[in-house]
Amino acid sequence: MTATYLETLSAGQTFWRNLAEIPNSDRFRMCIQCGTCSGICPFGKWLEYTPRKTLAALRMDEFEEVLQSNSIWMCVACAACTAACPQQIPTLDLMTRLKEELLLTGNVPAELQLALENSRRYGNPMGESPKKRADWTTRLDTPVPILGKDARSVDVLWYVGDFASYHPEGQSAARAMVKVFQALGVDFGILGPDEVSDGDSQRLAGERGLFEWLAIRNGAQFTRRHFNLIVTTDPHAYNAIKNQYPALDICYPVQHYTEFLYERLDQLQPLLTHEIEAAVAYHDPCYLGRVNHIYEQPRALLKAIPGVRLIELSHQRDNSLCCGGGGGGMWLDGFQWEKAHSRLSEWRIRETVAIKPLEDFLSVVRTLMTKPKSNGKSSLPDTTILAVACPYEKPRFSDAAKVIAPDKGIQVLDIAELLAKAIA
Amino acid sequence: MNILVIIKMAPDLVEELSIDASGTALDTQWLRLLPNEFDEFALEQAILLKERVGANVTVVAPQADGIEDALFTAAAKGADHLIELTGEPENLNNHALARAIAALIPALQPTLVLTGVQAHNDLDGQSGALLAGLLDWPYVGYVSGVQIVERKAHVRKEYPGGLLAEIEVDLPAVLGIQASDEPPRYVAFSKVRQAMQSATIEKRDIGVLNCSGGTVISRMFQPEAKGHAKMLTGDTQEVVARLVEILQTSGAV
Amino acid sequence: MSANILVVAEHLHGQVLDITYVMLAGARRLAKATGGKVIALLLSENVQALSQNFNADIVRSYNHPAFEDFSNDAYLHVLEGEVKEEQPRVVLFGHTTIGMDLASVLSARLDLPLVSQVQRFEALNFISQICGGKILAEGALPEPTALVTMTPGGYKTEEGQGQNPPIETKQAAGVEKKRARLVRFIEPPISDVDISKEAVLVSVGRGLQNQEDLAMVERLAHALHGAVSASRPLVDKGWLPTSRLVGKSGKAVRPKLYLALGISGAPEHVEAITNSEIILAVNTDPNAPIFDFAQYGVEMDLTELLPALLEKLEQEKVS
């Protein structure tokens, strides 16, 4: 191809050629326009260019029109489209590339713009002072080791993440994690103020450059510490460190805390002595479940807690419903609300509430089958808990529960919090 | 037309501020700087004018921590020419800055100078207005929109109570920008990185600073809270209960 | 060189702006220290009515149609002459959209030192409030003539008020040339609510990060029979109209109850709420300046507090 030929390519044709950089991009040509991706997309109804239509438009070189629409910002990067595609097309990567194109033209909703600018300036999307990133550790009974640059070596480097560091609900899950680690005698430490955002949500929101910059900064901090394993409480960070950082030559073994604890279940089980009488529905986070195939370990941990009865929601495992926080969704609430007037998190809460009738039936059956306690009170759980394992989910589901089911008593708790409660 | 934009870095109020050992200035050790918010609006307004009427945009800034990043970002947004004023940045006040820029005007020949109407750490007036005084050019501040109509600037000036005045200004002029017609655009990180490769920052030495007209600070300190709010503590339910009590007593409920 | 204090009075559409009285109060303090007189400079044909409540020793007025609407050049022309002739110890301007257009230009033209963001004086020392109200800077007022821009908040307007001071009228020549001319005023859109008249205001600031959380704020305002107002950032984003803006460029309010949610308390905002009876502030930053002005404070995220508060108010209503 001569230089002049490349110059004559339209923007769409250039974009199409650049897609070749995506792994498995040869599969884009195999799209049969079946529409499964659009059908399974949770916000598909509000996407002017659904995944299927986007591919069709590209193939017809109508890319300019696709770029005119800003409905791509409805995409929450849940990867349902990719998981469902019969041709195994990396559809999510296409949607992400589209966001990258829009960002280059400056077409980005204001809330997301602020989150990206904050990430650049402060290393976190909230715009909080980086010096305060480890302040959440100050009110704990036992200190959390913050690994300085010349520190001793530890077994586990716990990558905490933005929300766990700065958001009150994330911080409460982080404190619970500390309790669990300490109960198990885990030799761990955190980066503290040297940690910056893992960058995965920024990447999925179309800021590839920003993601790389954040990743390289974290990578530099990792090289200055001595540890055997990274454990993280954030599936987005897990995904970043496991699947995205290696391409930047940042390679470390990493586990999500549910994997880590599952491997130590025989040590953990005897410590779980406090009963939690509840029906617990587990929500599979997109980036733990569907994208990284971790389904059974979180469930095993929940089942290990005495008193817990694990319930499966109708959308589960690779079919789980996104909470709506990914792909920049955490910072697109206003934009997405304007278009959809509904929230994915509320959908999920409705599903949780819907298990109640089944619960009531089961509880009747159990009453008939068990002897009542000597004090005459029933031993049946009347609490419903939605168990989560991703820091975006807690605030999103709590808010949704407050809005649409305020009187149903649904608690939203991270698995770590449940484990911590079960440890005397 | 040539547009000159003046930008400055200012202390970031997200971090806690402290006073240095001399007791007369801010401690710079942990001080984080960011571009003065109003200067960002001024830059955006300049780029908007460039897009609408065609103009050459030069951005000039005094040396400070992080200024190069701010200048390259300006280039990524569309600025054509970048100038960094080097010299004795710590002692630079607005009067000295205005004089340094006044010295550049004959070479740059701008028709319009845009800068933020103020910065929160201004103690000796505002650089835009000072510059206008030195050049004897017309000045309008608190501007939240600029159009070029038949080689004059039509600006919207803000008054209290949401009142606006549309004012016609003869050019050349200096405008103190409060807000741009549109909010400052987002520029992708990769574009800034590209600008770092392709754009150059011209460095000009300020020479001997003339700070006269400024102020001498004998003491810098943090306000003692005279009467701090009575903080309501406890868990959410306790706080809410107490709040409702207060609301009821106040007659609001 | 006189010991007199010159105050550049501000007026708009036939009303004296409050900052004028604040300056007069400051001028009175300075005059005590210098032994000089307070001279209010009022450029308007309507001088009698406008100056009747000035606490000044003399009101010096210039009559000319050129002063009736926007006229930086006209004002500067007169000011230059006045300052050269009078050689006052201090010239006070408002740190406002009017005063700031004049003070710095004059400082450069006449090569006179200028101090800005001054809140109050102690003898012949100024105290300025900078960095969003977080830092105070003190120094001696430069000699022989210091130009000063003053912010409100240091003195009460009552202190600057007096009764019918004597008026000196002078002729203004050469003020016709205006390089910036008023084309028209654009009045703010009439909204159903005049926040300056509301008894309860639920006000939101930068701490409100998601636009649709506004609905919750509206519900709270409704429950308290009040109105929603805002500080600058939300109005700039277009989430609320300018008619709801509380602050230096917006409206000054005097409600019985002012709830400041996610508002840091920068001086430009605080100056407009000092006449509230009760200020209750909610902010995640315990060091937010607003807590120095509020009677009650809660260190919490407003999105956490509001749902619980709304619930409780509902319960109270029912019971």
Task: Using pLDDT thresholds of 50, 70 and 90, give the confidence band for residue C63.
Answer: confident
Identify whether the C-beta of residue A191 lies closer than 8 Å to the C-beta of residue A200.
no
A225-229, C67-71, C106-110, C250-254: least confident range = C67-71
- Strands of B219-221's sheet in order across: B219-221, C135-140, C125-130, C114-122, C146-150, C90-94, C5-8, C38-43, C58-63, C167-171
The pairing of strands C5-8 and C90-94 is parallel
Predicted confidence (pLDDT) at residue A255 exceeds the cutoff of 90: yes
Average pLDDT, chain B: 93
* Chain B CB contacts of C261 below 8 Å: none
The pLDDT score that the predictor gives to residue B68 is 96
Predicted confidence (pLDDT) at residue A370 exceeds the cutoff of 60: no
The pairing of strands C125-130 and C135-140 is antiparallel
The pLDDT score that the predictor gives to residue B88 is 76
* Chain C CB contacts of B230 below 8 Å: 295-297
Q: Residues of B numbered 129-168 whose beta carbons fall under 8 angstroms of chain C's beta carbons: which are they? A: 129-134, 136, 138-142, 154, 156-168
* Over residues C64-68, mean pLDDT: 83
Gap between the Cα atoms of C30 and A190, Å rounded? 57
Tokens of C220: 């709270």
The pairing of strands B2-6 and B112-116 is parallel
The pLDDT score that the predictor gives to residue A377 is 38
Q: Do C211 and A399 touch (CB under 8 A)?
A: no
Neighbours of chain C (3+ CB pairs under 8 A): A, B
Q: Do B183 and C237 touch (CB under 8 A)?
A: yes
* Over residues A202-213, mean pLDDT: 96
Predicted confidence (pLDDT) at residue C319 exceeds the cutoff of 60: no
Q: Say what percent of chain A tops pLDDT 70.
A: 90
Predicted confidence (pLDDT) at residue A3 exceeds the cutoff of 70: no
Which among C263, C237, C266, C268 has a CA at the least distance from the CA of C251? C268
A268-282, A311-325, B134-148, C14-28: least confident range = A311-325
pLDDT tens digits, residue range B41-88? 999 999 999 999 999 999 999 999 999 999 999 999 999 999 999 987
Average pLDDT, chain A: 87
Task: Using pLDDT thresholds of 50, 70 and 90, give the confidence band for residue A379.
Answer: very low
Rg (CA), chain C: 22
- Residue recorded with tokens 């050129």: C66
Q: Say what percent of chain B tops pLDDT 90.
A: 80
The pLDDT score that the predictor gives to residue C185 is 93
Return the top range by mean pLDDT from C20-24, C204-208, C309-313: C20-24
Closest alpha carbon within chain A to B187: A106
Identify whether the C-beta of residue A239 lies closer than 8 Å to the C-beta of residue A287.
yes
The pLDDT score that the predictor gives to residue A5 is 66
**Burial (CB count <10 Å: 0-12, 13-18, 19+), residue C146:** buried
* Over residues C183-208, mean pLDDT: 87
Tokens of C268: 């430009």
Identify whether the C-beta of residue C102 lies closer than 8 Å to the C-beta of residue C79.
yes
Give buried/exposed letters for A30-56 (b at 16+ CB in 10 A, else e).
ebeeeebbbebbbbbebbebbbbbbbe
Which among C212, C206, C184 has a CA at the least distance from the CA of C285? C206
* Chain B CB contacts of C113 below 8 Å: 124, 212-215
* Chain C CB contacts of B154 below 8 Å: 183
* Over residues B184-208, mean pLDDT: 94
Q: Do B14 and A120 touch (CB under 8 A)?
A: no
Suggest the residue from B17, B36, B101, B139 to mutate for an interface test with chain C (most C CBs closer than 10 A). B139
Q: Do A334 and C210 touch (CB under 8 A)?
A: yes
H-helix or E-strand containing A368?
A: helix A344-369
B101-115, C72-86, C188-202: least confident range = C188-202
Q: Which residues contact C276 (CB under 8 A, 6 or more apart)?
A: C201, C253, C254, C255, C256, C257, C258
pLDDT tens digits, residue range B83-108? 999 987 677 899 999 999 999 999 99
Q: Which residues contact C76 (CB under 8 A, 6 or more apart)?
A: C102, C105, C106, C109
Predicted confidence (pLDDT) at residue A199 exceeds the cutoff of 50: yes
Q: Do A337 and C311 touch (CB under 8 A)?
A: no
Which among C98, C69, C117 has a CA at the least distance from the CA of B159? C98
Per the model's pLDDT, the better-predicted residue between A14 and A262 turns out to be A262
For chain B, say whether C84 makes contact (Cβ under 8 Å): no
Q: Do C140 and B141 touch (CB under 8 A)?
A: no
pLDDT tens digits, residue range A127-158? 889 999 999 999 888 889 999 865 789 999 99
The pLDDT score that the predictor gives to residue B34 is 96
Give buried/exposed letters for A312-332 (b at 16+ CB in 10 A, else e).
ebebbebebbbbbbbbbbbbb
For chain A, say whether C299 makes contact (Cβ under 8 Å): no
Gap between the Cα atoms of B193 and C156, Å rounded? 52
Predicted confidence (pLDDT) at residue A376 exceeds the cutoff of 50: no
Smallest Cβ–Cβ distance between A110 and the set C237, C303, C311 belongs to: C237
Predicted confidence (pLDDT) at residue A326 exceeds the cutoff of 60: yes
Tokens of B246: 């207060």
Q: Do B230 and C308 touch (CB under 8 A)?
A: no
Average pLDDT, chain C: 91
Phi and psi torsions of C281, nearest 5°: -115, 140
Which among C75, C68, C92, C72 has a CA at the least distance from the CA of C14? C68
Task: Using pLDDT thresholds of 50, 70 and 90, give the confidence band for residue A371.
Answer: very low
Per the model's pLDDT, the better-predicted residue between B128 and A382 turns out to be B128
For chain B, say whether C149 makes contact (Cβ under 8 Å): yes
pLDDT tens digits, residue range A45-72? 888 999 999 989 888 888 888 888 988 9
Task: Using pLDDT thresholds of 50, 70 and 90, give the confidence band for residue A424.
Answer: confident
Tokens of B35: 């571009």
Neighbours of chain B (3+ CB pairs under 8 A): A, C
The pLDDT score that the predictor gives to residue B22 is 93
Give buried/exposed letters for B43-82 (b at 16+ CB in 10 A, else e).
bbbbbbbbeeeebbbbbbbbbbeebebbbbbbbbbbbebb
* Over residues A351-370, mean pLDDT: 60
Closest alpha carbon within chain A to B14: A129
Gap between the Cα atoms of C74 and C66, Å rounded? 7
Predicted confidence (pLDDT) at residue C57 exceeds the cutoff of 50: yes
CA dihedral B117, B120, B126, B127 (to 10 degrees): -90
* Over residues C234-250, mean pLDDT: 84
Q: How far is B199 from chain C (nearest CA, A)?
A: 31
Identify whether the C-beta of residue B249 lies closer than 8 Å to the C-beta of residue C257.
no
Predicted confidence (pLDDT) at residue A372 exceeds the cutoff of 70: no
Looking at chain C, list the stretches that DSSP marks H as alpha helix, in order from N- to C-terminal side. Answer: 18-34, 47-51, 72-86, 100-110, 214-223, 232-236, 267-270, 302-318
